[in-house]
């Protein structure tokens, strides 16, 4: 894989191309971009047939091992990698251990093992086992395994452990990567953790850079454990993190950020030169019955809410599309009233229609960002998006989030407890 | 006798010289439907996560909606405001709605049937509701399907009490008159009467003959496929198609298993509906000419074949059994993928029958089909007997 920077402003934001993928020679992924989150190998809720109605060009797929581990036997039998096995060979894959936006309960750790939460409970996995699977999956891009699923506010001890453990894990990954024939066309990405404590984070980055010749990029992690609570970080603090870490990374490396960040935060990250985001945000909206409806025209003052909750009965007789003027299949053919009906009757088409719109619209947010960066007007665009999102936050107090969090934690704990009892935490063999 | 109004025109394009099967075209206000036809069931104005566009690509020409469910949600007010179910769900081809009576009796234990209608408690707000023939047609007029069903007095197929069956059969005829009288859109929608009489020969014959005297564009055969044996089932279908006018389409309700479709097309049925192909998809069950595959089974773990090598659906083009095995009953996508294949299977089966009727090779097709399905040679006796009754000797 090659990363070519096409335009970089003095402020930090930049547009680039990811190219040179061995399996998809003609594929060009323009950055900044968001990947499409997959689950069990498929883009969440969408068959390849429907996905082709949303995107006609190759896109970046985010493939967490935690939700796709059961595909291993089949991928191995076929021998052509995860994308082909999941019917998505027209796209580019980026594999990682976790979906960073998934809540995982705190658990115990063992030397050399990283916990991985699957639908069947917690599995302990080693770096070698992770790389064994990656040799079978043969993704185009591979995030090194790390112990980084922690919040900014973790205690010093936990953060130190996270950095130390991730150092050892990366060494194994690099060693395996360098000696692997099957992974020679795959790009390796180092994972930054310890983000909560400057000094620890610096250690982590310094170590990453000692392996620079083998790395195509870095991924910023160690900021969230997937909970809503952990995503609530003061703006200034976030800006400092995005800025200082970005500046300490050589510009030729492509910069990833993991986590379910909202559009306003994504804009800030782009401003400091971050290039690739995982696609968990639109999936989260879809699963909640919500639709993103940002206005991208910076000359237009927009007082509509930029997020619609289509569960709301107010849309029962609203025969407008989700977003007037949106070019997606859902908006061209279907109404808010129909989607409200599908949600109300718990019909599966609701998540299909919402996925189509949310993925298209979220992608458009990046298309417009790239255009503005190229024409040096990104600061105007950023302000335009941030304003809309902040107005939404003011009008719709995110009151129930912490309540929801408690529920999720409790469910997650329950799942884990029951599985611990049943399986006594199995080692992923 | 031809069709009675512009809401439905039926042309028979080819007839089998041996069996009662025929290939035809039903011209409906929203679409011209080629018969014999299988109609997938989209209960609440949607089909198991598939886009209307995908249904078109699969070759679906007419689909079903449920009056009872749609009348509750989104409700007639919403449907009226947007101008019917076609617009609400963005489906431009033909639609058929049931009367709501079957749901009421099968879903609601407390339903009470009187001459006036079906009385029941709403599962939504516990109020007492009376569904009369007039009310059913009023809702169906509002939904706006091309073909609508009369409200019939539904009795469990295996019910034994002669007096009750007789009452239900006769009441169904009386309710038909009330439905026809209440019908407000006869130039856009056709009411099909439902032949009742369960498994009683005399009653079923009388029901069919009664309906024949009415000014209607087609007929439905009801009260079957409800737990009776196949030996009881097929003679009732045969009896009904034997009486019903051959110039109007005949619709056998709730039948959709491949072998049943083949036999009943041979017996002269034109239209079918069934929830089975899409319902079974949820459990990982895929349909093929050799029978059903349960993709959850471990033997598919490393099976790199598509569900069916001969199928051209997007699922068979893009996915292996091994991949589907990994995701069935876990990811919603699996349900969509197998639904696509299962609907494609039903459509292909109907198309193949149609083509063979047109070419005059339907009996040979039936023999090949039966022998492939029962490759061990154990063809059920009801299949042999029913096909024999229309001149096909499998052995
Ligand atoms: Zn090292
Ligand atoms: Zn849209
Ligand atoms: Zn297929």
Angstroms from A381 CA to nearest CA on chain B: 34
The CA distance from B196 to A407, in Å, is 52
Domain shared by B324 and B250, yes or no? no
Cβ-defined contact of B304 to A86 (cutoff 8 Å): no
Domain shared by B150 and B31, yes or no? yes
Among candidates A45, A73, A334 on the partner chain, residue whose Cβ is nearest the Cβ of B333: A45
State the ligand closest to the CA atom of A213. Answer: 1
Q: Which of B224, B242, B274 marks a domain boundary?
A: B274
Say how many C-beta atoms besides its own lie within 10 A of residue A112's C-beta.
14
Cβ-defined contact of B81 to A48 (cutoff 8 Å): no
Q: Is B308 a catalytic residue?
A: no
Angstroms from A70 CA to nearest CA on chain B: 6
Is B27 part of any domain? yes
Instruction: Kindly tell me if the per-residue pLDDT of B341 is higher than 50.
Output: yes
Cβ atoms of B49 and A348 closer than 8 Å: yes
Give B364 Cα–ligand 3 centroid separation in angstroms.
Answer: 24
Cβ atoms of A413 and A105 closer than 8 Å: yes
Domain shared by B257 and B298, yes or no? no
Is B2 part of any domain? no
Tokens 């197929």 sit on residue = B157
Say how many C-beta atoms besides its own lie within 10 A of residue B182's C-beta.
18
- CA dihedral over B57, A54, A28, A90, signed as positive or negative: negative
Cα distances (Å, whole numbers) of residue A53 to A49, A89, A333, A360, B215 = 7, 16, 13, 10, 45
Domain shared by B149 and B290, yes or no? no
Instruction: Kindly tell me if the per-residue pLDDT of B384 is higher than 70.
Output: yes
State residue A428's pLDDT score. Answer: 73
Cβ-defined contact of B320 to A47 (cutoff 8 Å): no
Please give the residue that has the higher pLDDT: either A81 or B106. Answer: A81
Say how many C-beta atoms besides its own lie within 10 A of residue B120's C-beta.
21
Model pLDDT for residues B280-312, shown as the tens digit of each residue: 999 999 999 999 999 999 999 999 999 999 999
State residue B104's pLDDT score. Answer: 73
CB contacts, 8 Å: B51 with chain A: 50, 53, 329, 349, 352-353
Instruction: Kindly tell me if the per-residue pLDDT of B6 is higher than 90.
Output: no
| Percent of chain B residues topping a pLDDT of 90 | 89
CB contacts, 8 Å: A46 with chain B: 333
The CA distance from B279 to B170, in Å, is 33
Annotated binding site of B: 98-102, 152, 196, 223, 311, 313, 316, 341
Residue A74 touches chain B, beta carbons under 8 Å: yes
State residue A183's pLDDT score. Answer: 97
Cβ atoms of A258 and A220 closer than 8 Å: yes
E-strand stretches of A226-372: 254-257, 276-277, 290-292, 307-309
Model pLDDT for residues B195-221, shown as the tens digit of each residue: 999 999 999 999 999 999 999 999 999
Q: Find all residues with CB under 8 Å of A326, minimum gap 6, and list them.
A: A293, A332, A357, A360, A361
Catalytic residue among B98, B146, B153, B210: B98
| Confidence grade of residue B124 (pLDDT, cut at 50, 70, 90) | confident
Q: Which of B244, B274, B304 marks a domain boundary?
A: B274
Domain shared by B240 and B317, yes or no? no
Residue A97, both tokens = 């251990």
Angstroms from B78 CA to nearest CA on chain A: 6
Phi, psi (deg, nearest 5) at residue B154: -90, 130
Cβ-defined contact of A50 to B315 (cutoff 8 Å): no
Number of domains in chain B: 2
- Looking at residue A231, the DSSP 8-state letter turns out to be H
Mean pLDDT of all residues belonging to chain B: 95
Say how many C-beta atoms besides its own lie within 10 A of residue B57's C-beta.
15
Give A85 Cα–ligand 2 centroid separation in angstroms.
Answer: 29
Say how many C-beta atoms besides its own lie within 10 A of residue A72's C-beta.
18
**CA-based radius of gyration for chain A:** 21
Say how many C-beta atoms besides its own lie within 10 A of residue B158's C-beta.
12
State residue A246's pLDDT score. Answer: 97
Is B366 part of any domain? no
Give A292 Cα–ligand 2 centroid separation in angstroms.
Answer: 9
Annotated binding site of A for Zn(2+): 326, 328, 331, 357
Among candidates B47, B73, B336 on the partner chain, residue whose Cβ is nearest the Cβ of A47: B336
CB contacts, 8 Å: A345 with chain B: 44, 69, 73
Is B60 part of any domain? yes
**pLDDT in 10s for each residue of chain A, 429 residues:** 999 999 999 889 999 999 999 999 999 999 999 999 999 999 999 999 999 999 999 999 999 999 999 999 999 999 999 999 999 999 999 999 998 888 776 666 677 888 888 888 888 999 999 999 999 999 999 999 999 988 999 999 999 999 999 999 999 999 999 999 999 999 999 999 999 999 999 999 999 999 999 999 999 999 988 888 899 999 999 999 999 999 999 999 999 999 999 999 999 999 999 999 999 999 999 999 999 999 999 998 878 899 999 999 999 999 999 999 999 999 999 999 999 999 999 999 999 999 999 999 999 999 999 999 999 999 999 999 999 999 999 887 654 444 445 444 444 433 333 333 333 457 776
CB contacts, 8 Å: A41 with chain B: 323, 326-327
Helix, strand, coil distribution of chain A in percent, nearest 5? 45, 15, 40
Domain shared by B265 and B292, yes or no? no
State residue A411's pLDDT score. Answer: 42
Is B176 part of any domain? yes
Give the up-direction half-sphere exposure of residue A194: CA atoms within 13 A in the CB hemisphere.
25
Is B371 part of any domain? no
Q: Which H or E run includes B174?
A: helix B162-182
Cα distances (Å, whole numbers) of residue A103 to A195, B12, B33 = 18, 61, 50
Residue A142, both tokens = 């591979």
Q: Which of B326, B330, B335, B342 to mutate to test the interface with A (most CBs of A within 10 A)?
A: B326
Cβ-defined contact of B73 to A345 (cutoff 8 Å): yes
Total beta-carbon pairs less than 8 A apart between chain A and chain B? 121
Q: Which of A66, A118, A341 to mutate to test the interface with B (most CBs of B within 10 A)?
A: A341
Residue A81 touches chain B, beta carbons under 8 Å: no
Is B308 part of any domain? yes
Cβ-defined contact of B333 to A342 (cutoff 8 Å): no
Domain shared by B268 and B289, yes or no? no
Biggest distance spanned by C-alpha atoms of chain A: 61
**Among A308, A273, A300, A291, which Cα is nearest to A381's?**
A300
Cβ-defined contact of B44 to A341 (cutoff 8 Å): yes
Instruction: Kindly tell me if the per-residue pLDDT of B333 is higher than 60.
Output: yes
Is B376 part of any domain? no
- Looking at residue B393, the DSSP 8-state letter turns out to be -
Cβ-defined contact of B304 to A319 (cutoff 8 Å): no
Give B173 Cα–ligand 2 centroid separation in angstroms.
Answer: 49
State residue A397's pLDDT score. Answer: 64
State residue A396's pLDDT score. Answer: 76
Q: Which of A345, A351, A356, A357 to mutate to test the interface with B (most CBs of B within 10 A)?
A: A345
Interface confidence, given as ipTM, is 0.97
State residue B1's pLDDT score. Answer: 38
Angstroms from B337 CA to nearest CA on chain A: 7
Strand order in the sheet with B250-252: B37-40, B271-274, B250-252, B219-221, B194-195
State residue B395's pLDDT score. Answer: 83
Cβ-defined contact of B332 to A48 (cutoff 8 Å): no
Domain shared by B151 and B244, yes or no? yes
CB contacts, 8 Å: A320 with chain B: none
Residue B302, both tokens = 């490393």
A:320-359 residues touching chain B, CB 8 A cutoff: 329, 333-335, 337-338, 341-342, 344-345, 347-349, 351-353
The CA distance from B395 to B390, in Å, is 14
Residue B387, both tokens = 């096909």
Model pLDDT for residues A234-291, shown as the tens digit of each residue: 999 999 999 999 999 999 999 999 999 999 999 999 999 999 999 999 999 999 999 9
Q: Is B303 a catalytic residue?
A: no
Angstroms from B327 CA to nearest CA on chain A: 6
- Shortest CA distance from A40: residue in chain B: B327
Cβ-defined contact of B323 to A319 (cutoff 8 Å): no
State the ligand closest to the CA atom of B306. Answer: 3
Q: Which of B274, B291, B326 marks a domain boundary?
A: B274
Q: Which of A40, A42, A46, A47 to mutate to test the interface with B (most CBs of B within 10 A)?
A: A47
The β-bridge relationship of strands A307-309 and B285-288 is unpaired
Give the global pTM. 0.95
Cβ atoms of B224 and B233 closer than 8 Å: yes
Among candidates B48, B89, B327 on the partner chain, residue whose Cβ is nearest the Cβ of A348: B48
Q: Is B377 left (phi over 0), alpha (psi -120 to 50) or beta?
A: left
- Shortest CA distance from B299: residue in chain A: A74
Among candidates B78, B302, B314 on the partner chain, residue whose Cβ is nearest the Cβ of A77: B302
Domain shared by B187 and B324, yes or no? no
The CA distance from B139 to B153, in Å, is 18
Give A253 Cα–ligand 1 centroid separation in angstroms.
Answer: 18
Cβ-defined contact of B330 to A40 (cutoff 8 Å): yes
Cβ-defined contact of A333 to B326 (cutoff 8 Å): no
Domain shared by B215 and B334, yes or no? no
Domain shared by B73 and B215, yes or no? yes
Looking up residue B265, the CATH number of its domain turns out to be 3.20.20.105
**CA-based radius of gyration for chain B:** 21
Say how many C-beta atoms besides its own lie within 10 A of residue A111's C-beta.
7
Q: Structural domain of residue B186, as residue ranges?
A: 9-274
Tokens 């993190």 sit on residue = A241
Cβ atoms of B264 and B389 closer than 8 Å: no
Instruction: Kindly tell me if the per-residue pLDDT of B2 is higher than 90.
Output: no
Domain shared by B200 and B329, yes or no? no
Say how many C-beta atoms besides its own lie within 10 A of residue A322's C-beta.
25
Cα distances (Å, whole numbers) of residue B188 to A58, A92, B7, B24 = 46, 50, 5, 20
Residue A196, both tokens = 């909560």
């Amino acid at each position: 894989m090659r990363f070519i920077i096409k335009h970089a402003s003095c402020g930090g934001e930049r547009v680039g191309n990811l190219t040179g993928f061995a399996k998809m020679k003609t594929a060009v992924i323009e950055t900044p971009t968001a990947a499409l989150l997959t689950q069990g190998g498929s883009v969440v809720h969408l068959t390849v047939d429907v996905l082709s109605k949303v995107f006609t060009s190759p896109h970046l797929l985010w493939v967490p091992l935690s939700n796709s581990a059961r595909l291993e036997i089949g991928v191995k039998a076929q021998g052509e990698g995860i994308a082909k096995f999941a019917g998505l060979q027209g796209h580019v894959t980026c594999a990682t251990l976790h979906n960073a936006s998934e809540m995982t309960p705190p658990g115990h750790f063992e030397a050399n093992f990283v916990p991985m939460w699957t639908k069947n409970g917690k599995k302990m996995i080693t770096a070698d086992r992770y790389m064994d699977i990656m040799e079978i999956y043969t993704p185009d891009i591979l995030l090194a395994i790390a112990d980084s699923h922690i919040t900014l506010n973790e205690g010093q001890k936990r953060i130190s452990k996270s950095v130390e453990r991730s150092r050892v894990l990366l060494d194994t990954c690099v060693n395996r990567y360098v000696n692997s024939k099957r992974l020679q066309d795959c790009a390796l990405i180092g994972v930054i953790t310890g983000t909560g404590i400057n000094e620890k984070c610096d250690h982590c980055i310094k170590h990453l850079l000692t392996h620079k010749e083998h790395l195509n990029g870095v991924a910023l992690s160690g900021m969230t454990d997937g909970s809503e609570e952990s995503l609530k970080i003061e703006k200034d603090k976030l800006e400092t993190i995005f800025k200082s870490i970005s500046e300490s990374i050589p510009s030729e490396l492509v910069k990833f950020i993991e986590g379910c960040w909202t559009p306003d935060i994504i804009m800030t990250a782009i401003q400091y030169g971050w290039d690739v985001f995982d696609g968990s945000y639109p999936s989260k909206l879809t699963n909640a019955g919500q639709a993103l409806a940002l206005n991208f025209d910076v000359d237009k003052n927009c007082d509509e809410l930029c997020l619609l909750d289509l569960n709301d009965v107010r849309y029962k007789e609203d025969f407008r599309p989700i977003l007037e003027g949106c070019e997606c299949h859902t908006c061209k053919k279907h109404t808010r009233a129909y989607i409200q009906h599908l949600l109300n009757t718990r019909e599966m088409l609701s998540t299909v229609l919402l996925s189509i719109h949310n993925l298209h619209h979220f992608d458009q947010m990046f298309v417009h960002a790239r255009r503005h960066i190229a024409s040096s007007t990104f600061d105007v665009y950023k302000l335009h998006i941030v304003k809309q999102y902040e107005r939404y936050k003011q009008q719709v107090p995110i009151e129930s989030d912490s309540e929801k969090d408690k529920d999720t934690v409790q469910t997650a704990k329950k799942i884990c407890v029951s599985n611990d009892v049943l399986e006594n935490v199995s080692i992923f063999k | 006798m031809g069709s009675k109004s512009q809401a439905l025109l039926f042309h028979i394009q080819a007839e089998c010289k041996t069996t009662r099967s025929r290939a035809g075209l039903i011209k409906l206000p929203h679409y011209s439907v080629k018969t014999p036809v299988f109609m997938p069931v989209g209960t609440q104005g949607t089909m198991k996560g598939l886009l209307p566009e995908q249904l078109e690509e699969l070759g679906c020409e007419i689909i079903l909606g449920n009056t009872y469910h749609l009348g509750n949600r989104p409700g007639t007010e919403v449907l009226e405001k947007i101008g019917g179910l076609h617009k609400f769900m963005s489906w431009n081809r033909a639609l058929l709605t049931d009367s709501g009576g079957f749901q009421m009796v099968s879903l609601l234990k407390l339903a009470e049937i009187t001459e006036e209608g079906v009385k029941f408690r709403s599962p939504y707000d516990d109020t007492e509701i009376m569904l009369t023939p007039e009310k059913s047609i009023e809702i169906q007029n509002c939904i706006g399907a091309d073909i609508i069903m009369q409200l019939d007095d539904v009795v469990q197929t295996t019910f034994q009490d002669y007096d009750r069956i007789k009452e239900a059969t006769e009441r169904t005829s009386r309710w038909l008159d009330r439905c026809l009288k209440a019908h407000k859109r006869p130039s856009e929608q056709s009411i099909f009467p439902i032949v009742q009489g369960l498994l009683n020969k005399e009653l079923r014959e009388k029901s069919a003959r009664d309906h024949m005297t009415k000014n209607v564009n087609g007929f439905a055969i009801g009260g079957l496929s409800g737990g009776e044996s196949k030996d009881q089932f097929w003679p009732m279908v045969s009896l009904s198609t034997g009486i019903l006018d051959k110039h109007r389409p005949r619709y056998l309700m709730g039948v959709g298993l491949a072998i049943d479709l083949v036999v009943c097309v041979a017996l002269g049925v034109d239209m079918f509906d069934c929830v089975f192909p899409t319902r079974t998809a949820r459990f990982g069950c895929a349909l093929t000419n050799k029978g059903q595959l349960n993709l959850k089974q471990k033997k598919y773990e490393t099976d790199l074949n598509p569900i069916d090598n001969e199928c051209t659906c997007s699922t068979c083009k893009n996915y292996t059994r091994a991949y589907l095995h990994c995701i069935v009953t876990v990811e919603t996508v699996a349900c969509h993928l197998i639904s696509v294949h299962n609907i494609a299977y039903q459509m292909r089966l109907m198309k193949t029958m149609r083509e063979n009727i047109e070419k005059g090779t339907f009996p040979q097709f039936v023999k090949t089909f039966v022998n492939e399905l029962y490759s061990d040679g154990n063809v059920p006796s009801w299949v042999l007997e029913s096909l024999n009754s229309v001149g096909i000797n499998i052995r």
